[in-house]
């Protein structure tokens, strides 16, 4: 068990043992952000490319994210990416290609010019059926049947979950590809889970799973770092809640600072304010999390990557701005401060030997 292996090593967290270096938990949190989710993938690619370069120098084979991270959690389009990387076990380059194609297909043609229905309700901008077909194409490309279950009973080293909102209770719900002994499970398919986490209000229609209606988790936790922390605690230390000593590397990746302009073009004022509020919530979540994890941040065990400049003019659905997203992210990663942080992140990760496959029940 991870908890026993790590906690028995002794020593302070500043003087971490080989047990933590080789088997400590690696966690990945992925923000929502529509087409700007590509920015988070380009950041992850920069990290994984450097990690695999270092591994090759030590005569080690290249690894995929699912072979490094013990838990991947995401919200909205970050949830889609989490499932691609974790449940479908794709490498980052495969995921970038699939996500680029998906975004171009889904966001190419809005359903309605007006977002207000005849009786004043808000109509979804885009076709959920198109998104569903795009998800099926990704699954087929990975040799996974389109009716495959999210949690199919198979043990995987990398656990994956996505966030969504129960429309009736307004509660955050985690859809998992694994079981927890003291948590209720929602039996669903990979496709339904993807649709549920991506069903952003005004963008896609809500999704019904087992007579419950779900919508985009980004309206409750666009930055799901707290959800990933809570889920990891439920998995590996449900009795003590002492997660921090078990964590080797915790990476949170954003989709860039959207600015206010990204939501003003063609949207009603109250919708603009809602989307800006999401961006504000994302930043506030990060500040509070760093305050709680200040020691781990200083010890280079927690990292937050988020493009600060260059994405302000790009809205959630501008699939034709992929080149701009890539250029802005590349510029961010080339900044000296970020290069040093990627270096520190990779130095932390490179001795990770394997992810856990044991049942921690």
Of the residues 29, 40, 76, 315, which is catalytic? 76
Annotated active-site residue in 216, 252, 315, 317: 216
Q: Is 171 a catalytic residue?
A: no
Backbone angles phi, psi at 9, to 5 degrees: -75, -25
Q: How far apart are alpha carbons 347 and 331 in whole angstroms? A: 22
244: left (phi over 0), alpha (psi -120 to 50) or beta: alpha
Contacts of 241 (CB under 8 A, 6+ apart): 233
Phi/psi region, residue 32 (left: phi>0; alpha: psi -120 to 50; beta: rest), is beta
Q: Which two tokens stand for residue 326?
A: 């890539």
> Tokens representing 332?
């961010």
> Could you tell me where the DSSP H helices lie in the chain?
2-7, 18-23, 37-57, 77-82, 92-106, 128-141, 190-198, 218-221, 225-236, 269-292, 294-298, 322-334, 336-349
76 is catalytic: yes
Cα of 355 vs its chain's centroid, Å? 18
Q: How far apart are CA 346 and CA 210, in angstroms?
A: 41
Phi and psi for 122 in degrees, rounded to 5? -90, 125
| Neighbouring-strand partners of residue 172 | 165
DSSP state of 9: T
Residue 224 near residue 233, CB atoms below 8 Å: no
Tokens 């039996």 belong to: 187
Nearest to 90 by CA among 140, 25, 32, 146: 140
Residues 335 and 53: beta-carbon distance below 8 Å: no
Q: Which active-site residues does the annotation give? A: 76, 216
């Amino acid at each position: 068990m991870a908890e026993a292996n790590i906690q028995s090593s002794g020593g302070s967290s500043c003087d971490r043992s080989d047990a933590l270096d080789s088997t400590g938990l690696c966690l990945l949190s992925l923000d929502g952000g529509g087409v700007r989710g590509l920015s988070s993938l380009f950041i992850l690619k920069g990290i994984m490319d450097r990690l695999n370069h270092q591994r090759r120098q030590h005569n080690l084979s290249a690894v995929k994210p699912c072979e490094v991270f013990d838990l991947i959690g995401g919200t909205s389009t970050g949830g889609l990416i989490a499932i691609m990387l974790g449940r479908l076990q794709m490498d980052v380059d495969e995921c970038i290609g699939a996500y680029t194609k998906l975004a171009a297909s889904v966001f190419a043609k809005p359903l309605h010019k007006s977002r207000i229905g005849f009786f004043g309700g808000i109509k979804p901008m885009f076709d959920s059926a198109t998104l569903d077909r795009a998800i099926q194409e990704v699954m087929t490309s990975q040799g996974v049947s389109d009716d495959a279950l999210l949690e199919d009973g198979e043990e995987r080293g990398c656990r994956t979950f996505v966030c969504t909102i129960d429309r009736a209770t307004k509660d955050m719900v985690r859809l998992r590809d694994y079981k927890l002994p003291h948590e209720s499970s929602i039996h669903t398919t990979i496709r339904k889970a993807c649709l549920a986490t991506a069903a952003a209000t005004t963008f896609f229609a809500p999704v019904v799973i087992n007579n419950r209606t779900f919508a985009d988790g980004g309206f409750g936790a666009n930055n799901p770092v707290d959800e990933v922390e809570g889920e990891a605690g439920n998995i590996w230390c449900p009795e003590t809640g002492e997660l921090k000593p078990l964590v080797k590397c915790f990476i949170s990746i954003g989709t860039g600072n959207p600015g206010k302009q990204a939501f003003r073009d063609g949207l009603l004022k109250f919708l603009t304010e809602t989307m800006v509020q999401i961006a504000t919530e994302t930043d506030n979540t990060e500040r509070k999390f760093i305050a709680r994890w200040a020691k781990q941040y200083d010890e280079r065990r927690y990292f937050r990557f988020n493009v600060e400049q260059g994405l302000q003019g790009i809205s959630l659905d501008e699939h034709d701005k992929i080149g701009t997203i890539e250029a802005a992210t590349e510029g961010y990663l080339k900044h000296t401060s970020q290069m040093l942080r990627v270096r520190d992140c990779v130095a932390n990760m490179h001795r990770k030997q394997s992810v856990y496959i044991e049942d921690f029940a």
